[in-house]
Each structure stands twice: as C-alpha cells, then as structure tokens.
Amino acid sequence: MGSANTPLATATSLAIMTRDLNLWYGDFQALFDVDLDIKSGIITALIGPSGCGKSTLLRSVNRITERLGYVRTGGSIHVHGKNILDPDVELLQVRRQNGMVFQRPNPLPLSIRDNVTFGYRLHREERGRLARAERDRIVEESLTKVLLWDAVKDKLDQPAIELSLEEQQKLCIARLLPMRPQLLLMDEPCSALDPQATSAIEELIWDLRGEYTVVLVTHNMAQARRASDECIFMLMGRVIEHSDTGRMFVTPTHTETADYIEGRYG
Ligand SMILES: Nc1ncnc2c1ncn2[C@@H]1O[C@H](COP(=O)(O)OP(=O)(O)OP(=O)(O)O)[C@@H](O)[C@H]1O
Ligand SMILES: [Mg+2]
C-alpha cells in the first residue's frame, strides 16, 4: 500500500492524496496510517472528537507542524501530484499553495489593504515595489471574492482589527487568494463566530467551491452536513470513514461514525 504502488495519473487528478501517513509529536503518535484521496474543487469536512487528529492532519498538509522541532512525519502527502514531503520541496512554496484559516481570525496589525497584499508581497517572485494599479486590482478582486468589498471599499486604510469578527475572518480568507492557493485548509473557521456570522462564512466557503479545494475541520455536525460535499470521520488518529456527506449522515458504514454523529461521544 506504499506510495510507490500508486500511479501518478491518480495522484494528479486528486487535490490531496496521503499514503501511510504517520505523525509523531515526540514519542506520541497522533496519526496512524492515514490513506486519503481528497478530490479537487469540492469541500471536504473533517470531523471527529476532540484530540482525534483533525488539526494535526490539516497542519501536516501545510507542513506547519514542522515548526515544532519534535515532530516526525512518515509516508507521503501528494498535493496535486507532488509529494510535499520530498526533500526538494520548498517550504515557502508549500505554505503559499496551501493556505490556512484558523479558529480565531488573526489579521495582521495593519490596514485592511495591507492585510490583503502582505502575503502576496512576501511570496511574489519579482522584488521591489508593487505597482499601485496591480495592488488595487488584487485588493478589489480578493475582497470581492469574499463578499467584503462593498463593506470596506471606503475604508481600506483603516486597521483590520477594527472590523467585526465575521469581516476579519473573511479578510483572513481574502489575503490567501492573491497567492492563487491550490488548497484552502480551514480549521474550525466559524468557532469564534455567532450564528449569523457563521452562516455568512459558510455561504462564502460554498461560493469558493469549484474554484478552490476546501478542507474544513468542524465540530458542528449541522455545518458539516450543510457545507460539505464529502466527509471524513477520524477517531484516535485514524480515518474511520470517508464518503459522500449525504451518505455519511444518513447511512454511515461504521458504528463509531454513527455514534459520533448522533452525539454519543464527547
Ligand atoms: N503541539 C503538540 N505537541 C504534542 N502533542 C500534540 C500537539 N498538538 C496536538 N497534540 C496531540 O495530538 C493529538 C491530536 O491533536 P489535534 O489537535 O490534531 O486534535 P483535533 O482533532 O484537532 O482536536 P480538537 O477537536 O480539540 O481541535 C492530541 O492527543 C493532542 O494532545
Ligand atoms: Mg483541532
């Protein structure tokens, strides 16, 4: 079942393909033999009880876990056909292509405009000043895409932290878009938001579908059901079930999945 047996043609038609993915924090093993095929252009929800490894899995696709010196990863993680764990892969490139959104919106202490262009300036190949016309185009396009442009177009110079939490989270999604990410990895992006803001963010995620591949970690079963095409259920570092979301919620294959979605676990 190793990566060597997997034809590359299969790999490239998928957004994410992991094989024998194992991850240790020091001596503690957090992921066990994770084999996943995540399709491109859809929303895949990642569910399971607290501590089952959802964030660890998501972070390993961005290699952000490696910031901790004591993390060891085995196996492979192909993103659009390229194993991001290969030694020739540039970490900065991986971070640029696989954008992350966190639980609490974390805008930089800069203006709304500079938040949108910050990553782009950092990652773009040409050095030097960003031409004003290009900058304005990027800012408008990105903010329009996250349904924020009309609300902020007259206050682009104001500090981003003055926005509401919902707007801040939209901005945190917008700032990834100029880098043309292959994946949007969202770790409970609505957990700090009220129901109205949650539904606004869900709508936005749904709008991004097709153009982007989204992996969405959530504790909210209703959200997983409403806002995803496919669903992955994890338990104690292992993938138990991966299927069409409708099917998983109506006729789950495993009793553990049924127990979880019916609220019989913490
Ligand atoms: N930085 C770390 N160092 C050591 N162990 C960690 C670290 N981060 C997570 N773990 C452990 O790895 C396991 C998986 O954690 P992870 O955060 O991925 O779970 P999760 O499914 O995202 O949980 P939650 O739903 O609470 O966010 C847990 O046992 C956790 O204690
Ligand atoms: Mg988590």
Distance 156 CA to ligand 2 centre (A): 32
7 burial via Cβ count (<10 Å: 0-12, 13-18, 19+): exposed
Mean pLDDT of 210-220: 95
Mean pLDDT of 234-241: 98
Closest CA to 37 of 76, 85, 73, 89: 76
What's the token pair of residue 140?
A: 């408008």
C-alpha 31/C-alpha 14 separation (Å) is: 21
The predicted structure's pLDDT at residue 218 = 97
The predicted structure's pLDDT at residue 41 = 94
- For the Cβ of 54 lying below 6 angstroms from any atom of ligand 1, the answer is yes
- The mean pLDDT value of the chain amounts to 92
pLDDT tens digits along 147-187: 999 999 999 999 999 999 999 999 999 999 999 998 999 99
Mean pLDDT of 82-103: 93
Distance 132 CA to ligand 1 centre (A): 43
Query: Of 6-10, 114-118, 210-214, which range is least confident?
Result: 6-10
Closest C-alpha to ligand 1, atom 26: 50
Closest C-alpha to ligand 1, atom 24: 50
pTM recorded for the entire structure: 0.93
The predicted structure's pLDDT at residue 12 = 47
- For the Cβ of 52 lying below 6 angstroms from any atom of ligand 1, the answer is yes
Of the listed ligands, the closest to the CA of 49 is 1
Look at residue 145 and tell me whether its pLDDT is greater than 80: yes
Look at residue 47 and tell me whether its pLDDT is greater than 50: yes
Where residue 59 falls among pLDDT bands split at 50, 70, 90?
A: very high
Of the listed ligands, the closest to the CA of 237 is 1
- For the Cβ of 222 lying below 6 angstroms from any atom of ligand 1, the answer is no
The predicted structure's pLDDT at residue 266 = 57
| Token pair 């409970």: residue | 188
The predicted structure's pLDDT at residue 69 = 87
Look at residue 39 and tell me whether its pLDDT is greater than 80: yes
Q: Please choose from 23, 55, 240 the residue to mutate so as to test ligand 1's pocket, defined by most ligand atoms within 8 A of CB.
A: 55
Domains of the chain: 3-261 (3.40.50.300)
DSSP structure string for 143-178: HHHTT-HHHHTT-TTSBGGGS-HHHHHHHHHHTTGG
What's the token pair of residue 165?
A: 């939490």
Distance 125 CA to ligand 2 centre (A): 33
Of the listed ligands, the closest to the CA of 66 is 1
